[in-house]
Amino acid sequence: MSEQRSIRSFVRRQGRITPGQKRAIQEYWSDYVLDSSCGWSALQETLNLSSPIILEIGFGMGVSLHNQAQSNRQTNFIGIDVYLPGLGNLISLLQKSQLENVRLYYEDAVEVIQRVIKDESLDRVQLFFPDPWPKKKHLKRRLINKTFIELLSQKLGKNGEFVLVTDSQSYFNYTLDLFSSRSDFSRADSREREATKYEKRGLALGNEIYDVTFKLSQQN
């Protein structure tokens, strides 16, 4: 088992939990949320892993993840976030739509990927609007770094994709720089998708949106 990371990409926020989110957490948590200590076998027992697997890091309130899973019921979705109201909101949406192709983790995404995900098993990893950590002294908190890209290269299957969407030009350029030193990843066309909550907020502010996809063209 991997050690707990000392520098994390998030600060746990309490956030206000609505009565509906609280009810979803109390009644349906165990239907959707897995614990990383149960490993890959917990996913095998609850999903049909012969179908493609998309993993989304930091789904926020989960609306876009719910809608993707609803429109692609034959695809498996693994969502990871540490924001409890967001988990409550997404569990409520999943339960109302009776979706069975989604499982969630309420833990640090890097630790979940290290502990749970089998090598070469993922078709896509999505990171929509990661916390940008713009100050120089906080750059080390950014989720994307050399170690994270190495982890992606282990867990994505051949032609697997990593998608980053952000309105931070600095995060975008920093990511391009990191991937430019990797011969195993190449740029690919981004797919059409629904805008996330943070994306809508960024667009309303007039921010430019940077949407980039890297494809794993060869396994190391």
Ligand X SMILES: C[S@@+](CC[C@H](N)C(=O)[O-])C[C@H]1O[C@@H](n2cnc3c(N)ncnc32)[C@H](O)[C@@H]1O
| Interacting residues with ligand X (CB under 6 A) | 8-10, 57-60, 80-83, 86, 108-110, 128-129, 131, 143, 196-199
Beta bridge partners of 126: 56, 163
Q: How far is the CB of 127 from ligand X (least distance, A)?
A: 8
Q: How far is the CB of 50 from ligand X (least distance, A)?
A: 27
Nearer to ligand X, 91 or 143 (CB): 143
Quote the crossing angle between the two packed helices 39-46 and 109-116, to the nearest 10°: 90
The Cα–Cα gap between 202 and 196 comes to 10
- Enumerate long-range contacts of 170-179, CB under 8 Å, 24 or more apart: 170/132, 170/134, 171/130, 171/132, 171/142, 171/144, 171/210, 172/210, 172/212, 174/139, 174/142, 174/144, 175/144, 175/212, 176/212, 178/144, 178/145, 178/146, 178/149, 179/149, 179/214
Neighbouring CB atoms inside 10 A of 120's CB total 14
- Pairing of the two strands 53-57 and 76-80: parallel
Nearer to ligand X, 23 or 197 (CB): 197
Q: How far is the CB of 62 from ligand X (least distance, A)?
A: 8
Q: How far is the CB of 4 from ligand X (least distance, A)?
A: 12
Report the alpha-carbon angle 118-122-123, nearest 5.
165
Q: Which residue's CB comes closest to ligand X?
A: 58
Catalytic residue among 131, 177, 184, 211: 131
The Cα–Cα gap between 119 and 156 comes to 7
Catalytic status, residue 189: no
Q: How far is the CB of 195 from ligand X (least distance, A)?
A: 8
Beta bridge partners of 76: 53
Active site positions, annotated: 131
